[in-house]
Amino acid sequence: MDHHHYLTIEQREALEQLIRKTIPPGLRLDTMLKHLHSADYGVCIECGKDVEFVRLQEDPTLMHCRACGRLPVPGGPAR
Ligand SMILES: [Zn+2]
């Protein structure tokens, strides 16, 4: 396995517990668990930096770091 992201196995296990608690069994859960164990989980999809573990604990489905998370989602509802 070629896992190169910064999260430890323990951290990923903790997040897996969280995800199983948050998301009901089904396709979305399967997708999320697959994503959790992929190499790009915990890495910002915008800038490629690590997403802080504390923020992943609040929302394990996060895909942005703190800086990029503040940016409006492209195509999202205007506020
Ligand atoms: Zn970022």
Would you state the pLDDT for residue 2? Answer: 45
Task: Measure 9 CA to ligand 1 centroid, in angstroms.
Answer: 23
Task: Compute and round to an integer the Cα radius of gyration of the chain.
Answer: 13
Distance CA 37, CA 67 (A): 24
Task: Measure 57 CA to ligand 1 centroid, in angstroms.
Answer: 17
> What is the pTM assigned to this prediction?
0.76
Task: Measure 51 CA to ligand 1 centroid, in angstroms.
Answer: 8
Distance CA 23, CA 4 (A): 26
Determine the average pLDDT of the residues in 49-72. 90
Task: Measure 48 CA to ligand 1 centroid, in angstroms.
Answer: 6
Which amino acid does the sequence have at 1?
A: M
**Confidence band, pLDDT 50/70/90 cuts, at residue 77:** low
Q: What distance separates the 2 farthest-apart alpha carbons in the chain?
A: 43
What would the pLDDT profile of 7-39 be if each residue is shown by its tens digit?
999 999 999 999 999 999 999 999 999 999 998
- The first and second tokens of residue 1, run together, are 């396995």
Task: Measure 49 CA to ligand 1 centroid, in angstroms.
Answer: 6
